[in-house]
Amino acid sequence: MVCITLNDQKECPVCGKVYDSSHNFCSNHKELTELVFSKDLVKVCPKCGIKYKKEDNFCSKHSELVRLIFVKDLVKICKKCGEKYPAAYDYCRNCNEPLNYIVDTPRIKDIETRPNSYYNFKDYSNRFAEVSDLLSEKNIEKLEKFNLDESQFDGIIENIKKTYKLILDNIIDDYQIDFESLSTVEKILLFSKSFVKTEYKEGGGDLGHFEFNEIYIDDRASNALQITTIIHELSHFLLAEIFEQIISVVLNTDKTDAVEALVCYTLVKDSFNYLVDEYCAHTVEGRYALLGYQDYGSYELALDEFKKENDEDLIEVANEIGNTFAAYIKSIISSFITEDLREDIKLEFNKINDPPKFSQLQYETSKIWEWNRFSEALRLMLKRKLEDILNNTDDFERLELYAVKFKKNNG
């Protein structure tokens, strides 16, 4: 697969369609429109938007003389349609709306967000801020016996979608981001930042990790691997978020550091739950990777540990529960990653020199549980560590430490 770089990329100066250097004319027009290397298109007509080379001074499409300007001198923007203008313009020629100066947009990686507090969807009657209050005898009984209605669960998923969209729109408005001008990896990074703090890390042996409401990604990886790593770690966040919202509904409580600590502890410290979580994250990640680049590495590590202490019959059960979670999480992510953006992600994988490998597809399953069975799995997963926490001082103290870490990161 040939990779197109800016130096060998050609562009139609009229419509902006991109080609590789082997093409000479644009296929979008009835008349012959000659392509130009993108790096040479540095001027633009402020009236019609056609691009030109540096040596050109006037647009050839108008009866009157319209002087060209450098693309870099487009400093104003219409918020309604997104059209950009030079400083001399005050109103949009399309919408007649007043123009605003384009602010200096920070790099997406430098935008700091802590959106976790927004994922409280209503004002609940309770707020169990301390682990001891959360794990009262009355609350334990509710957590062990709850029967969540499917419409309640669907409401949790829809609220997560609505909340990230609101946060994402606010980030775009606050920083005056031209979303369509972002690279594919920047779009995915911005999407993740609308859920949870997402940053690049310095060093370390992993591609990325998620812990205590923070995602860290290694920017030394290829764009394709950065994208799927972000999706993988974001899936861990979303699975935990779903459980946190279930607790909020069942106990009629705001999501607190103690609630998040309980979910984190339950998912990480129980081998079955951990296997479900890893399978889910890899399955979601694999949906957006080019076929042959699926990776179940951390799932395989979790699987090896699981086999040491558990019946292998439970593996299929864990995978199917994880795949059912993945279906819901993919519905959230796919509300942002359109088919066009998926194609852009595939193009990033085409730039990788490593050939595709299909052996990892052995782990994939298409089985998704119907609601009654899945809702029972939700309850059983949530209660798996409760007895250990209540009867073991070390477990209880470790849970309290988790709550402290969440409080620090959420502050």
pTM for this one?
A: 0.76
The CA distance from 360 to 302, in Å, is: 15
17 inside domain? no
Residue 58 covered by a domain: no
CB-based contacts of 269, cutoff 8 Å, min separation 6: 385, 388, 395
Residue 58 DSSP one-character state = B
Q: Is 84 within 8 Å of 74 (Cβ atoms)?
A: yes
pLDDT tens per residue, range 254-312: 999 999 999 999 999 999 999 999 999 999 999 999 999 999 999 999 999 999 999 99
Identify the DSSP state of 195. T
Q: Vertex 101, ends 96 and 104: CA angle to 5°?
A: 145
pLDDT in tens, 143-202: 999 989 999 999 999 999 999 999 999 998 888 788 888 899 999 999 999 999 999 987
Domain assignment present for 73: no
| 127 in any annotated domain | yes
The pLDDT assigned to 121 comes to 76
What's CA 105's distance to the chain center, in Å? 20
What are the structure tokens assigned to 51, written together? Answer: 């691009």
Residues 6 or more apart in contact with residue 65 via CB below 8 angstroms: 58
DSSP string covering 128-188, please? --SHHHHT-HHHHHHHHH----HHHHHHHHHHHHHHHHHHHHHHHHHTT--GGGS-HHHHH
What pLDDT score was predicted for residue 5?
47
- Count of domains for the chain: 1
Neighbouring C-beta atoms of residue 258, cutoff 10 Å: 25
181 belongs to a structural domain: yes
- Is 45 within the bounds of a domain? no
pLDDT tens, N- to C-terminus, the chain (411 residues) = 344 444 578 888 888 888 888 888 999 888 899 999 888 888 888 778 889 998 999 998 888 888 898 887 787 888 888 888 887 788 988 889 998 877 666 889 999 998 877 877 788 999 999 999 999 999 999 999 998 999 999 999 999 999 999 999 999 888 878 888 889 999 999 999 999 999 998 777 778 899 999 999 999 999 999 999 999 999 999 999 999 999 999 999 999 999 999 999 999 999 999 999 999 999 999 999 999 999 999 999 999 999 999 999 999 999 999 999 999 999 999 999 999 999 999 999 999 988 999 999 999 999 999 999 999 999 999 999 998 999 999 999 999 999 999 999 887
Tell me which amino acid residue 271 is: S
Kindly state whether residue 103 falls inside one of the protein's structural domains: no
Q: Dihedral (C-alpha) 324, 329, 331, 334: value to the nearest 10 degrees?
A: -140
Q: At residue 270, what are phi and psi to the nearest 5 degrees?
A: -110, 125
Domain boundaries, position 351: 108-410
Residue 215 placed within a domain: yes
214, 240 contact by CB (below 8 A): no
